[in-house]
Structure 1
Amino acid sequence: MHKPVSNLPHKASPVLVKQANLFADLPAELIEDFQQEFQLNEWHKGDYFNSALLTERFFVVLEGQVEIKQTNPETGREATLDMLYAGDCFDLIVLLDGQPHDVTVSPLTNVRLLSVKLDTMRQWLWNYPAFNQQFMPYLAQKMREKEELASSLVLHNVTTRLSRIILKHINKIKFFITGREDEQQHIVKGLSDETLARMSGTVRQIVNKQLQEWKQDGTIDKKRNQLIVNDLEALEQEAKYKSKLPDTTPKR
């Protein structure tokens, strides 16, 4: 049984607000003003989130990983619309048009977030040019990601789509095993075969088959919900990017 998400009953500090990439470079006095309106939220893996809250509050991820997905009630098939990491915000669609968004918000790990009233967030965008200048590039980045997702589902096979998903995850998380340079490995955590299937628009069996092929040829090592990428160059070749994958990790 899912538990409802819990809210910590105190406001966020300026230090926490500055941790969010969207606010990090704002003047200190502006952050001081903003932090008065923020609430600190904490969710746990498996918590239930009522999507109606998206019409009331705007959320910024500080720590953890959140999946946004939709489900076909007739077939039960699910598709991942977005995967959120530290520095990401949601829901941008509701922020812009004020309409309900029929999505499932699923914490994949324990998550810490900032939240603010949706109307307050809109007022900040209207009244503070410095904040608007921070927000617009992030909005453009998310729009590009949606464009790439749509085109990838039509133009590329599962192998290419899956390799792109893994590379983007590595690019955002930047979690490495430290050691000698030739032993350094890239770790992908929290993405089960089912989750990867939702993200790549296919089914778990096909994802598992591709992962096993990569495991056999030494590209990856697979342990439960953890992938260790041994040959990053092989995945980059499978991804067929025309240019280098942009660095989307939050700047501190």
Structure 2
Amino acid sequence: MAVVAVLGLIGAVWLMWRPAIAPIERPTLFDTAQLQRGARVVEAGDCAVCHTRPGGEYLAGGLPLVTPFGTLYSTNITPDVETGIGQWSLPAFERAMRQGIARDGHLLYPAFPYVHYRRMSAADIADAYAYLMSGPAVHAPAEQNQMNFPMNIRPLVAFWNLLFLHGEPLTPLAGRSEAWNRGRYLVDGPGHCAGCHSPLNLIGAEKSSEYLQGGSVDGWQAPALVGMGQRSTPRRREQRGGYLRAEIVEGHGPPAGPGRPVA
């Protein structure tokens, strides 16, 4: 029994521990075309929605995210070398996007949707990195999270990852149009639509059996996104586009609540 206990302890430590990735000097030289692509990726990923608090500096964090497990504060993703990601290499950034691990090795809470970002292409992640690194550095120390026990013990996120962190970068499906595959990529990758529009289980993971069937965010009901064209008051393609641009669409209300900044 003692041997089993020791092996179990070693396995748990191995699961919860991740090494740091060495800091680098902030890169500043990027191709203009890459920066333009990166701006589109960051916009598609709604990065500013969570990483910019009302009245705060762009992407400097500090937005409170209220969850059933406590309150998180979004972090600074400007290239500040002390409080942001200015010392992060591209491999460190990609590890955070795909595995939810910060440069120094600590685990990120899954309110950061790395479960979806891991499905993005390496090219899109590199473009997003270039865009973020090219922006102005803002000195903004992280706010102290207020998580409830036991989720205030951050290494326990490793066990959540073991259960729910799956999937590889998306590849186009044969027999589907280019537009359909592009839409699937945006919805399931950078857009992480299911993060709000799918119900969550007791430990905060999306219920895959109820994919895009509607969820709850900050006391607001995020509507189901599937079957929108077959409802009693369906949305045409033009109406859906207008809605996502926060326009007033005939027969439908404009986006509100947490959905408005996303639009």
Same fold (TM over 0.5): no
Higher strand share: 1
Normalised by the length of structure 1, the TM-score is 0.28
Higher helix share: 1
Normalised by the length of structure 2, the TM-score is 0.27
